[in-house]
Amino acid sequence: MTVRPIRIFGDPVLRTPADPVTDFDASLREIIGDLEDTVREPGRAGVAGPQIGVSLRIFSYNVGGVVGHLINPVLSDHEGEQTEEEGCLSLPGLGYDTTRALKVTATGFDQYGEPLVISGEGFLARALQHEVDHLDGRLYVDTLSGDVRRQALRELRRVVPRA
C-alpha cells in the first residue's frame, strides 16, 4: 500500500461531491489500504477519498489509536453540540473554532460490502462529520460565518499557493 499525497485547497476534487461506491472489489481494497496508510502518518485523524484524488464516498480515520474506514457513509443520531478548533490536511496551517454535533452515528459498509456502524462522541464524532463533509464537496471553513469566515478565507489565500 502507499501513503498518498494530500490534495490542497484549490484542487477541484475537494469541491466536487464524491460518487457512491458500487463495486467492492480488489481495486477498492487497494484504495482503502492507501487511505489507511495515509491516515497513519503522524498528526492525522482522517483522510477522505477526494483528499487523495479519488472521488469516491470513502474515508479512513485514526482516532485514539484505532484505524478504520467507512464506505458510502450516512450520518444520523446527531446529539448535543461541541465547539473546538478544527483543522484540515487540505487547508494546511489553519485552525478555527468549528461547531459540530457532540455525538453521531455513521452507517455504511466495510471494504467487503458488509454493513458497518460507527458511533462516535467527542473527537471521533467531529472526525466522522469532517470526513463526510469532504465527501459532499464541503470544507470545514464552509461552516464558519461572518468575520471568522472572512478571516479564514483571507488566510487561505495568503498561505495556500495558487497554481
Classify 121 as helix, strand or coil. strand
User: Would you name the residues annotated as active-site residues?
Assistant: 131
The CA-based dihedral angle spanning residues 27, 12, 4, 86, taken in that order and rounded to the nearest 10 degrees: -120
Residues of the chain with pLDDT > 70, as a percent, come to 98
What is the per-residue pLDDT across 85-118, written as a single tens digit (0 to 9) for each?
Answer: 999 999 988 999 999 999 999 999 999 999 999 9
Residues of the binding site: 88, 130, 134
Distances (CA, A) of 7 to 104, 109, 119: 27, 25, 28
The one-letter code for the residue type at 69 is H
Compute the mean pLDDT over every residue in the chain, rounded to the nearest whole number: 95
Per-residue pLDDT, averaged over 14-20, amounts to 97
Looking at residue 163, its pLDDT comes to: 44
Instruction: State the CATH class of domain 12-159.
Output: alpha beta
- Based on DSSP, count helices (H) and strands (E) in the chain, helices before strands: 3, 7
The percentage of residues in the chain with a pLDDT greater than 90, rounded to a whole number, is 85
Numbered residues of the known binding site for Fe cation: 88, 130, 134
The C-alpha cell at 107 is 452507517
Closest CA to 83 of 70, 96, 93, 65: 96
Cα gap 37→8, rounded to integer Å: 19
> What's the rounded Cα separation, in Å, for the pair 152 and 142?
10
Residue 138, SS3? coil
| DSSP reduced 3-state for 146 | helix
Contact between 84 and 78 under an 8 Å Cβ cutoff? The reply is no
Cβ neighbours, 10 Å, residue 122: 15
The pLDDT-based confidence of 72 (bands split at 50, 70, 90) is very high
From residue 4, how far is each of 41, 52, 53, 96, 125 by CA, in Å?
10, 6, 9, 26, 25
**pLDDT reported for residue 108:** 98
